[in-house]
């Protein structure tokens, strides 16, 4: 959905005019961006999945990889990492990773902390890397720009934005109404994000990327 269409939907649902000076286009744009940030943190939504085009290989003797330098600058959360095409790395706490200090070889573990990912053991040579992650979308500012949220889930964004607008207007009754709409929409979407009804086969080995 485009930014201008999202503003129209909010005004239609809240019975607001485009001439309402309390909630201008600029204010709605900011509230929509706030709503986007809030809902993005609720779930590993499929529209936030991305493949890291920056980090495609690990370097010999380098264990730490930094966002914006070695990793994608919009990295927020790692979904999985494979090394050497078929080795799926196991996530660890940073303190556990430190136990491998001084050891080199094919990486088997990783820790994600702050703006960096640490591999262990430290790579002894160059290995290919596939890093799947959740990214932080940029702010939508152009009227014709599209939100990353899929159209079938856009009501969640609109519901949250309506709550924020109602709070700005100090209309507690309207805020409660949209809060219930938001809860109902979120409950329905938690199941919808699964793109198949079939359950995946459990993986029992970490040295291969397939089941």
The pLDDT value recorded for residue 176 is: 95
The pLDDT value recorded for residue 91 is: 96
Can you give the residue ranges of every domain in the chain?
3-45+149-192, 48-135
Q: If you ran DSSP here, which 8-state letter would residue 146 be given?
A: B
Whether the model clears a pTM of 0.75, i.e. scores above it, the answer is yes
pLDDT in tens, 31-75: 999 999 999 999 999 999 999 999 999 999 999 999 999 999 999
The pLDDT value recorded for residue 85 is: 85
Q: Is 81 exposed, middle or buried (0-12, 13-18, 19+ CB in 10 A)?
A: buried
The pLDDT value recorded for residue 205 is: 53
Question: What residues contact residue 204 under an 8 Å CB cut-off, 6+ apart?
Answer: none
What 3-state class would DSSP assign to 178?
Answer: helix
* Residues in the chain, overall count: 211
The pLDDT value recorded for residue 198 is: 45
Residues of the chain with pLDDT under 50: 196-199, 208-211
What 3-state class would DSSP assign to 64?
Answer: strand
The pLDDT value recorded for residue 206 is: 52
What 3-state class would DSSP assign to 127?
Answer: strand
> For the CA atoms of the chain, what is the radius of gyration?
22
């Amino acid at each position: 959905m485009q930014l201008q269409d999202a503003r129209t939907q909010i005004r239609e649902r809240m019975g607001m005019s485009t001439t309402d000076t309390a909630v201008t286009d600029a204010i709605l744009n900011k509230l929509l961006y706030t709503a986007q940030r809030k809902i993005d943190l609720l779930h590993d939504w499929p529209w936030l999945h991305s493949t890291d085009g920056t980090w495609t290989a690990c370097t010999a003797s380098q264990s730490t990889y930094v966002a914006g330098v070695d990793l994608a600058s919009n990295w927020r959360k790692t979904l999985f990492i494979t090394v050497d095409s078929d080795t799926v790395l196991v996530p660890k706490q940073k303190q556990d990773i430190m136990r491998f200090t001084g050891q080199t070889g094919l990486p088997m573990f990783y820790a994600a902390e702050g703006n960096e990912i640490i591999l262990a053991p430290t790579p002894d040579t160059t290995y290919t890397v596939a890093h799947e992650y959740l990214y932080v979308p940029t702010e939508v500012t152009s009227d014709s720009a599209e939100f990353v949220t899929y159209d079938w889930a856009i009501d969640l964004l609109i519901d949250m934005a309506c709550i924020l607008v109602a709070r700005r207007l100090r209309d507690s009754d309207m805020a409660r109404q949209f809060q219930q709409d938001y809860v109902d929409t979120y409950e329905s979407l938690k199941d919808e994000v699964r793109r198949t009804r079939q359950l995946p086969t459990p993986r029992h080995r970490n040295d291969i990327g397939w089941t």
